Amino acid sequence: MSCCGPGANYDEVDEVSRLVAGKLAAFLATLRDNGFAVGLQEGQDAASLMVAGYAARAALLRSAFKHLFSARKSDWDAFDGIFDAFWLGKRLRSRSITVGSAKAANNPSLKSLPNHAAELRPGSESAMDQVPSGDDGPEDRSGEGRMEGASRADNIAEVDFRKFTDPAQIEEAHAAAARLAKVMRTRLTRRDLARRRGYRLDLRRTIHGNISHGGVPITLVKRQRKQKPLRLVMLLDASGSMSMYTSVFLRFIHGVLDQFRQAEAFLFHTRLAHVSDAMKEKDAGRALDRLSILAQGAGGGTKIGESLQTFNRWHAARVIHSRTCVMIVSDGYETGDAALLGREMAALGRRCRRIVWLNPMMAWQGYAPEAAGIKAALPHVDLYAPANTLQSLTALEPYLARL
């Protein structure tokens, strides 16, 4: 790009600068697609950097842009790859989105999971969590008119998530999960407010406030300890063995993130993905679509231990404070190192207030925590609960309120 020298005539300069501007705009779009927060000001600064001479050498430009556009560690790590792919045409090793490459066909949407799951495993096994109707066959579960005088919502509350097959029913369960999240938030915050009470005298402020009285302390200023709102950090197992539960929990998490001011969500299978930003999308369907890109596993299996290690190393300090409850939703089938899982659970336990482990399989008949993973993790868990029905999710709320 050194062609903008004094020798070039104006038309050429115009042409070149238009090309460069177009290319730069496309690069900014690529960065935005990859989750970078890039605004207009950054674009202008980038252009001025290129004019100032940074464009002369790729390494120089990369380093300058990296500082300008990155806003966090994950950006910092991903930037070089995206830059090389875009400007130098190198192939990306990790999965990033470049313009036009996100084909819907290659990214199966998470929204299709429930149907998918139904094909994999026709709901048949246990009779633990069914509507008390005496009728066990999932096929003729019409849902309506079966329980006289009871609302349909009650009916749904006790049905195992994996037994939903009808799309309308699934939608209803999802909506109920979102509603539940909302109710939880309202109750929890109200309790929080009632607890506030000032207890210490702020002398400096008192003197300040009473200058108008000539310094006689008539009105006292008190100090309140700021009550930290409860923060929920959710880690959801999105591996194959959990597939029939993933979608409904995603909806629940979406509701929680929408309602709680302080909540963070992570997905894991063989690696950990921070999904709070993707879940901030107001529309649940679109949010799930954005997730489907993140949620694809690199292969089979669940590496809970490794995912927790990543969490402890890179995210825990940031997202966990003294009033944090970490909620892990997983069946505990660890395909990695179970000892590592135990160690990382211990490290996590030192950091946060409570660890809740929700295991949808727990309510299955004959289920016992025999898998090496869950065995290693259980000693560090404060609450181990089933979570296969809406009712069991509701039962969590009083527990969370006590934190």
By the criterion CB under 8 A, which residues form the site for other proteins? 2, 37, 39, 41-42, 45, 48-49, 52-54, 56-57, 60, 63-64, 66-68, 70-73, 75-77, 204, 207-208, 211, 214-215, 226, 317-319, 321, 347
**Can you tell me the distance from the alpha carbon of 52 to that of 65, in angstroms, rounded to the nearest whole number?**
13
Q: Name residue 46's amino acid.
A: A
- Of 48 and 186, CB closest to other proteins: 48
- Of 106 and 322, CB closest to other proteins: 322
Distance in Å, CB of 37 to other proteins, minimum: 5
**Can you tell me the distance from the alpha carbon of 37 to that of 376, in angstroms, rounded to the nearest whole number?**
40
Distance in Å, CB of 260 to other proteins, minimum: 14
Distance in Å, CB of 53 to other proteins, minimum: 4
Distance in Å, CB of 35 to other proteins, minimum: 11
- Of 131 and 319, CB closest to other proteins: 319
Render 78-135 in DSSP notation, one character per residue: HHHHHHIIIII-PPPSS----TT---GGGS--GGGHHHHHHHHS-S-S--TT--TTS-
**Can you tell me the distance from the alpha carbon of 50 to that of 351, in angstroms, rounded to the nearest whole number?**
45
In 3D, which of 49, 41, 51 has the Cα closest to residue 16? 51
φ, ψ of residue 226 to 5 degrees: the values are -75, 125
- Of 278 and 387, CB closest to other proteins: 278
**Can you tell me the distance from the alpha carbon of 228 to that of 193, in angstroms, rounded to the nearest whole number?**
10
Beta strands across the sheet bearing 263-268: 272-274, 263-268, 231-237, 324-329, 354-359, 383-386
- Of 63 and 165, CB closest to other proteins: 63
Distance in Å, CB of 200 to other proteins, minimum: 12
Distance in Å, CB of 324 to other proteins, minimum: 12
Answer yes or no: are the C-beta atoms of 266 and 273 closer than 8 Å: yes
- Of 320 and 358, CB closest to other proteins: 320
**Can you tell me the distance from the alpha carbon of 99 to that of 30, in angstroms, rounded to the nearest whole number?**
6
- Of 113 and 233, CB closest to other proteins: 233
Q: Name residue 248's amino acid.
A: V
- Of 228 and 286, CB closest to other proteins: 228
**Can you tell me the distance from the alpha carbon of 310 to that of 326, in angstroms, rounded to the nearest whole number?**
15
| H or E stretch at 74 | helix 73-83
**Can you tell me the distance from the alpha carbon of 69 to that of 44, in angstroms, rounded to the nearest whole number?**
12
- Of 187 and 213, CB closest to other proteins: 213
- Of 79 and 268, CB closest to other proteins: 79
Q: Name residue 114's amino acid.
A: P
Distance in Å, CB of 4 to other proteins, minimum: 11
User: How far is the CA of 277 from the CAs of 134, 240, 266, in angstroms?
Assistant: 44, 23, 10
Distance in Å, CB of 208 to other proteins, minimum: 5
Distance in Å, CB of 228 to other proteins, minimum: 10
Q: Name residue 231's amino acid.
A: R
The radius of gyration computed from the CA coordinates of the chain, to the nearest angstrom, equals 27
Distance in Å, CB of 56 to other proteins, minimum: 3
